[in-house]
Structure 1
Amino acid sequence: MTTRIWGVSASGATKTVRVAGVFILAAGVAAAQSFTFTGAEISGNQRVADSTILSFTGLTRGETVDAGAVNAAAQGVRDSGLFETVNVSARGNTLVIDVAEYPTISQIAIDGNRRLRDAEFLPLLESQPRRIYSPAIVDRDVAAITEVYARNGRINASVTPRVIRLSENRVNLVFEVQESGVTEVQRISFVGNRSFSDRRLRGVLETKEAGLLRAIISRDTFSEERIAFDRQVLTDFYQSRGYADFTVQNIDVGLTRERDAYLITYNVQEGQQFTFGNVSASSTLPEIDTALFQAALTTRPGSTYNPAQVDRDIARLERLAIQQGLTFVAVEPRITRNDRDLSLNVEYALVRGPRIFVERIDIEGNTTTLDRVVRNQFRTAEGDPFNPREIRQAADRIRALGFFANAEVDAREGSRPDQVIIDVNVEEAPTGSLSFGANYNTDNGIGFLASFREQNFLGRGQALSFQFSTASTNKVFDFTFQEPNFLGRDLGAGLALSYRTTDNQNADYDTENFRFSPSLSFPVSENGRLRTFAAVSYDDLTGLEDATTISPIIREEAALDGVQTYSLGYAYSFDNRRTGLDPTTGYVIRFGQEFGFGDTQFIKTSALAAAETRILNDDVTLRATIEGGHLSYQDGFSRVTDRYFLNGNTLRGFDANGVGPRDVDPANGINDALGGNSFAVVRLETEFPLPVPEEYGLSGGAFIDYGSVWDIGRSGRDTVLYDEFTPRATAGLALFWTTPLGPLRFNFTDALKAEEFDEVRNFDLTISTEF
């Protein structure tokens, strides 16, 4: 279709010039053409009103215009995006506009997408049913679909829009997709790293090389956002180990010739490793006792420099200033270099800070989570002095909740210059799970389970879970509830309910146990926490009626029938693995006691101390754990339902209940594990990389365990073996396999020291656990 613009030249002659299918009147040589339009004639429009089309031209009746203005008017109608064709011409003093409207979209479909669902694309499309079809919008939709595929590693995916014409000026819009294969990260390499191996640095990154589990693991695809995150993670890794000058100079991302794999190279400059030199606090403010603040510093001169430790010292000094009633005191770290001995002197200068207050805290985006759950993460309230560090820490705590897919915390100027408003914008994420399945372990065999977990129950930040499982030898029902901010304070309140039964598990008797326990927990130091609890429990021994080869000791204990016990207790834990001075070393201490009264009176004490460190440029991990417990009865005596039994996680290389005191009477066919009132175990372990591609998630280990369980608390039993401390020792090799289903551990064990009636296990498959 062509557009003709007519007019009269100064000489009275007319002339037309065809440009790209549009006829435009050309001006005469002597003078430019001009027209005065007194009317408009519009045709071809069905949905768009005449007045609307005329408004797109920008012209008004009676206006004198030249040919260029008429051309601009035609383009204005086209720019509306509502018309497939536009023809503008002049008939005397009448402006003639002929249009053909774009069709209306009836339906939208995506065809050929087998790997990704329609639901991942449809919310991104600008084109919508019952709206006007627009080629420009369709082009943007094609780009949006292609971007989704690119984020999922399919950069060669192509999208072709297809329009199906229908009656009544309607169309169906189909996006035809050719997905292509995944373009994986084939290799991640480093240039300039001298202190740490490529393997160690790749272990830090979120992006992983493609491996055997590429169908399950999504981190082997390329993502610009993930690469940016990895740059920061790599920087934090080096700086936390004293490399203060470390920089990532650039990251080269290339494609193989076939465009089916990415090659990523990090060019880094490590610099020198620094230690802390002189660490001091200073101030010129007369109200500040410098010695008091100097004593509060925890950084040790000579330790490896770590910016996180500087931040912790600043936070300690700021809290101390508040405790001393010193408001608007800022701590400025002044760091000076000593290149001769590669040390950094840190002076914490306490200076007068700006008088800025928090006007209010605004929270948006939390459609499920209550405002108070987010506010509980702030140590600052409306009206308090503004502390940027505290706001950043609050943002970290909000993200650590795990309730939100995204959480941003920003500060902006309030209603007055001395006030700020804290804006919290969050995006809710799923926090619950309902699962049905089966599990297997070498202690209990195959079992079936159902579980429900909700980490943000009713949006209150409460954790609720219950689990039911049944195996060939036991049945378990557990229910737990946890309120992390009881009474609006950093006070955890919990309820735990459990019911467990065993069915002839390594013995000719059954057990039944019920326990209900409320608890309260609260911090007592930066890394320490104390939990107090009460408990009601019921234990019973059953299933002895038909047993002919049962220990007389167990029959005597079963004669007590069900035993009901009330108890009070506490448990203290100290964990500095994430806050210690040395990022490669951490330790955990746990100690607790339970005081029982009721049918029996006892004191149950348990303790654990464990440490972990990395050596050889962080490639090798060393762990040491010592664990023990003691059960002391003041009234009554312990039963097999109360005493300690060592399983395959506590002392590797033996079956559950396979070590410790036993009642053995071969003449009567008796061989029953009795457990013990005391146990002690030392576990030494190392974990190291294997010479296999690291994307397989495999690493090796070696371990030695030494310990025992002993003392049934009953004297004069000639048939009881190993009632005194009788040590056992095992050594073995381990294979760790990190899978999307969980970290698996394969133990191959040899008993270095075992007794005649012990039950030895040479292979064990478990879920890998941390101390």
Structure 2
Amino acid sequence: MNNALHAFNKNLERMRVMTRGWALIAALLVSGMMALASPVSAQDFNFSNVSVEGNQRIETATILTYLGFGQGEAVTAGAVNDAAQRIRATGLFEAVDVVPQGRTLIIRVAEFPTVNQIAFEGNSRIRDAELGAVVRSQPRRVYSPSQAEADTAAISQVYADQGRINATVTPRIIQRSDNRVDLVFEVFEGGLTEVERISFVGNRAFGESRLRRVLETKQAGLLRALINRDTFIADRVAFDQQVLTDFYQSRGYVDFQVQNVDVSLTRERDAYLITFNVQEGQKFEFGNLTVTSEVTGADPAIYEDALRLRTGATYSPELIERDITRLELLALRQGLNFVRADPRVTRNDRTLTLDVEFALVNGPRIFVERIDIEGNNTTLDRVIRSRFDVVEGDPFNPRQIRESAERIRALGFFGTANVDAREGSSPDQVVIDVDVTEAPTGSLSFGGNFSTDNGFSLLARFNQRNFLGRGQSLSFSVQGGVDNQNFSFSFTEPRLLGRDLSFGIDTSYRSTDSQNALYDTTRASLRPRIGFPISENGRLTLYFAYDHTEVTNYTTTGAPSPFILADEAQGGIGTSALGYGYSYDTRRTGLNPNAGVLFRFGQEFGFGDSSFIETTAELAAQTSVLSEVVTLRATIEGGLLSYTSGDSRVTDRYFLSSGTMRGFEPGGIGPRDDTFGSDKDALGGNAFAVVRLEAEFPLGLPEEYGISGGVFLDYGSVWDVGSSAGPVLYDDFTPRTVAGVSIFWNTPIGPLRFNYTEPLDVQANDQIQQFDVTISTDF
């Protein structure tokens, strides 16, 4: 027992000795390390000399400015390291080494080379100038690897914006003498990544083909080489979501939402697949429409009469905005400033109607301090200011400013036009800032023109929509073909005397030769005009017209026509006329977004060598049915020449072209000379009337091809020569009827229409034209 205890104590003592030994060793090591570290961390440098080595272009004095301390000044090792970092941060040097050697600080640098030139290789789809515009590296500047990488990303983005997401860009440097390099961007453009398919999920009211027509993004089709809208651009898809929302809401679907847009690439990464997931909701109509007033002197009954909305019409926010504008303008005319029409909508889910109460309230008393315009390098300030209904000192109305912004954009003079309001010199003053970016407004074109009526001709045309930045339009064209020659000139000042009063002058010269008739004609015309609105949808134009016409070189293979001989014998005849034209157009402002009406009526009162009254009228309507898949159009058009002295000539009468009545050659129907042995010359008529009915519908082809079909029926005639020079065929109303089918094709050069016609009711001497090509238009 005692021996064991003694052994235990002995071992314990030995362990205590060893512990004290290890502790002593640890203390000595820590003391030694502190002794070594203390002098370094606390060491101060004092350099009497700074030497810079390796710099060629950069001055030594420039490098020394980044040190942050001067010679003879005590600095720490940390300060020396910070100085090295500052020199590296300049981006001027490829390598920087700062070495203290006694009382001398040595700075060794290796300068980046200078960019000698910048070049692009492998690019064929995008020109060097376009790529150079996004590159920030510049010749005769220091080469920066980070900037070269940024330039590479910018070039790749340019290609991505054009649908070439697989394009690769590699920056290369070629060493030159005197520490210079050529910076070359090697481009592999790759294939075009198009939008292969646009589909919709959740749509019930409208089919995919109708919704795709709304979008700015298009599917790739036959014309993919010419159409740029079939490439994927994220901003464009975001815009399409808003356009799609506006489309549905203007048709009563107030709860419509684009829940998400799924954009994916095909496995080969050569095409995008875009899917719009939508929720339509229910379709609503306008319910009760009332006006209440919280403004002294504003009688609700008077304002209610000014409403254009009607109960039962399809709900549309745009229509509410228009009636708000009417009410607020009415308040201004009554001398009531700062009146706001606040629409208060009550939803009736059971009847699917929305009651709208237009509450007239007093708005804040804020005035327009000034209008600042920037960015218009060409367009004069007054052209932009003319789009505003307010001037400095007028009451401020946010809705008027938004409408003014839309009118500025509608000019078509600017790529972008932003209009914002900010607080002015005091809380009751606002400054309206207009920031625009100029866009090209002129064009000069040379080319060819073809129509089945006039054949092929060469064309030169100049057009400027913003002449000298004054908002004026100027155009002239020269066209020459085998059968006719045309010259035209037109000038329009849209804001005469700063008012909504347009002034214009049109002049033209046209000649035809015996290639398309048995006689030659010339016609020169001059028409100054003024136009102004007389209602929301109506506009009136007043004009003076001078025409000089002549018939020459009449030749015939048979007996000569006494009518043509009499016209030729009169030589050149000049007539003057005063006229007016009225137009009423609801295609963009009506209550139904799918329908519209166009009405034109005009009269011309001639005097001079002959006196006459010419009356023309046209009534056209268009609507879309079957979920807006089928478009129906109907047009009634007519004209009447009534002479009080003198008589009409072949140059004055109506000849129906294929644009007026399809299925016949120009002058193919109407009165003809019935002199025995004559060539049955077409004489034209003093009256015509035509009814055109047509329907346009999809053919089941991919929508991106832009091809649709149609059917039509035309019924009409031209009659009444008015002269008794000889016997006449079809001088009375002799109707013709034709039916046909059409192919509509939206091409980058314009909408084309191909018509194939089958005559149903024609006369023996009519000249039939069963196929024709025209530029397709709405009515």
- TM-score scaled by structure 2? 0.94
Given the superposition, is the C-alpha separation of residues 14 and 637 from structure 1 closer, same or farther in structure 2, using an over 3 Å criterion? farther
Determine if contact 1:110/1:176 at 8 Å carries over to the other structure: yes
User: 1:618 is paired with a residue of what secondary structure?
Assistant: coil
Q: 2:247 aligns with which of 237, 252, 255?
A: 237
Superposed displacement of residue 364, structure 1: 1.2
The answer to whether the 8 A contact 2:615-2:640 is kept is yes
Matched, 1:544 2:571: no
1:11 Cα deviation after fit: 12
Which deviates further from its counterpart, 230-239 or 29-38? 29-38
Contact 2:554 2:564 in 1 (8 A): no
Check if 1:741 corresponds to 2:749: yes
Q: Which residue of 2 aligns with 1:413?
A: 423
Q: Deviations over 1:469-493 (max 9, x none)?
A: 1122111111111110111111110
1:507 is matched with 517
Higher mean alpha-carbon deviation, 727-736 vs 707-716, is at 707-716
One of 710, 717, 740 as aligned partner of 1:701 = 710
Counterpart Cα distance in 2 of 1:37 and 1:199:
81
Superposed CA deviations along residues 618-667 of structure 1, whole A, max 9, x for unmatched, are 111000000001000000111111111111111101111000111134x4
Partner residue, 2:41: 32
Report the Cα offset of residue 212 of structure 1.
0.8
1:90 counterpart (92, 100, 104)? 100
List gaps (5 residues or longer) in structure 1: 1-9, 16-25
Aligned ranges 1:210-225 → 2 under 5 Å:
210-225=220-235
Matched residue, 1:688: 697
Aligned to 2:192: 182
Alpha-carbon separation, structure 2, partners of 1:763 and 1:289 = 62
Alpha carbons 2:197, 2:273 under 8 Å: kept: yes
1:762 partner letter: Q
What's the CA shift for 1:194?
A: 0.8
| Counterpart AA for 1:698 | I
Q: Is the 8 A contact 1:574 1:590 kept in 2?
A: yes
| Partner SS for 1:124 | coil
Counterpart of 2:722 (choices 713, 717, 723) is: 713
Structure 1 consecutive aligned stretches of length 4 or more whose deviation exceeds 6 Å: 10-15
What one-letter code is carried by the residue in structure 1 that aligns with 2:140? Answer: R
Greater CA drift, 528-537 or 423-432: 423-432
Q: Tell me the equivalent position of 1:21.
A: none
Q: Could you tell me which amino acid in structure 2 is paired with residue 96 of structure 1?
A: I
Q: Does 1:375 align with 2:356?
A: no
Contact 2:483 2:516 in 1 (8 A): no
8 Å Cα contact 1:620-1:689 kept in structure 2: yes
- Measured after TM superposition, the shift of residue 87 of structure 1 is 0.5
> 8 Å contact 1:197–1:617 — kept in the other structure?
yes
Q: Deviations over 1:553-585 (max 9, x none)?
A: 121222221111010000000111111111001
Matches within 5 A, 1:480-629: 480-504=490-514, 506-544=516-554, 549-629=559-639
Structure 2 CA distance for aligned equivalents of residues 498 and 78 of structure 1: 72
Deviations 1:514-539 (A, max 9, x none): 11010000011111110000011111
Matches within 5 A, 1:42-441: 42-61=52-71, 64-441=74-451
Structure 1's 12 and 497: CA in aligned 2 closer, same or farther, altered over 3 A? farther
**Which SS does the other structure have where 1:263 is aligned?**
strand
Specify the code of the residue in structure 1 equivalent to 2:720: D
Question: Could you tell me how far apart the structure 2 residues matched to 1:477 and 1:716 are?
Answer: 33
Q: Secondary structure at the match of 1:225?
A: helix
Matched, 1:669 2:678: yes
Indicate conservation of the 8 Å contact 2:93/2:112, yes or no.
Answer: yes
The match for 2:658 is 648
Q: What letter matches 1:705 in structure 2?
A: D
Cα distance in 1 for partners of 2:95, 2:277 equals 54
Pair 1:758-2:778 in alignment: no
Cα separation, partners in 2 of 1:29 and 1:36, compared to 1, 3 Å: closer
Task: Give the distance between the partners of 1:662 and 1:36, measured in 2 at CA.
Answer: 115
Residue 711 of structure 1: how far off its partner (Å): 0.7
1:59–1:258 Cα change, 3 Å = farther
Cα deviation for residue 252 of structure 1 reads 0.8
Provide the residue aligned with 2:480 in structure 1: 470
Shift of 1:95: 3.0
CA contact (8 A) 1:509 1:547 kept: no
Match of 1:19 in 2: none
Moved more, 170-179 or 501-510: 501-510
The offset of 1:389, in angstroms, is 1.3
**Greater share of helix:** 2
Q: CA deviation at 1:55?
A: 3.2
1:679 equivalenced with 2:691 (yes/no):
no
In the alignment, is the contact (CA less than 8 A) between 2:54 and 2:111 conserved in 1?
yes
Secondary structure at 2:183's aligned position in 1?
strand
Q: Secondary structure at the match of 2:408?
A: helix
Aligned residue identity for 2:771:
F
Matches within 5 A, 1:455-466: 455-466=465-476
- For residues 316 and 505 of structure 1, the distance between their equivalents in structure 2, rounded to whole angstroms, comes to 57
Partners of 1:547 and 1:178 in 2: how far apart? 68
Q: What is the CA–CA distance in structure 2 between the aligned matches of 1:617 and 1:111, rounded to whole Å?
A: 51
1:733 counterpart letter in structure 2: V
Q: Is the 8 A contact 1:508 1:549 kept in 2?
A: no
Aligned length: 750
Taking the aligned partners of 1:388 and 1:133, their CA distance within structure 2 comes to 51
Residue identity opposite 2:318 in structure 1: A
d(CA) in 2 for partners of 1:352, 1:242:
30
Counterparts in 2 of 1:721 and 1:101: CA distance versus 1, 3 Å: same
**How many angstroms apart in 2 are the aligned matches of 1:545 and 1:706?**
33
Provide closer, same or farther for how the CA distance between residues 747 and 64 of structure 1 changes in structure 2, counting only shifts above 3 A. Answer: same
Name 2:20's counterpart in structure 1: none
Instruction: Name 1:5's counterpart in structure 2.
Output: none
Counterpart of 1:155 in 2: which secondary structure? coil
Shift of 1:744: 0.6
Displacement of 1:371 after TM fit? 1.2
Distance 2:730 2:67 in 1: 101
In 2, the alpha carbon distance for the partners of 1:329 and 1:337 equals 25
Which amino acid is 2:740 matched to? Answer: G
Cα deviation, 1:717-759, whole Å, max 9, x if unaligned, reads 4x31111101100000000000000101000110010000001
- Stretch deviating more after TM superposition (52-61 or 153-162): 52-61
Q: Describe the SS at the equivalent of 1:673.
A: coil
- 8 Å CA contact 1:358, 1:381 repeated in 2: yes
Partner letter of residue 704 of structure 2? E
Q: CA deviation at 1:33?
A: 4.2
In the alignment, residue 475 of structure 2 is paired with which amino acid?
A: S
8 Å CA contact 1:329, 1:353 repeated in 2: yes
- Per the TM alignment, residue 52 of structure 1 is displaced from its structure 2 partner at its CA by 2.9
Distance 2:436 2:558 in 1: 65
| C-alpha RMSD of the superposition | 2.0
| C-alpha contact 1:508 1:547 (8 A) present in aligned 2 | no
Output the CA distance in 2 between the equivalents of 1:646 and 1:34: 105
SS of 2:326's equivalent in the other structure is helix
TM-aligned CA distance change 1:55 to 1:336, over 3 Å: farther
Q: SS of 1:235's equivalent?
A: helix
What is the aligned partner in structure 2 of residue 23 from structure 1? none
Moved more, 238-247 or 84-93: 84-93
Q: Is the 8 A contact 1:276 1:304 kept in 2?
A: yes
Whole-Å separation in 2 of the counterparts to 1:558 and 1:77: 94
Q: CA deviation at 1:687?
A: 0.3
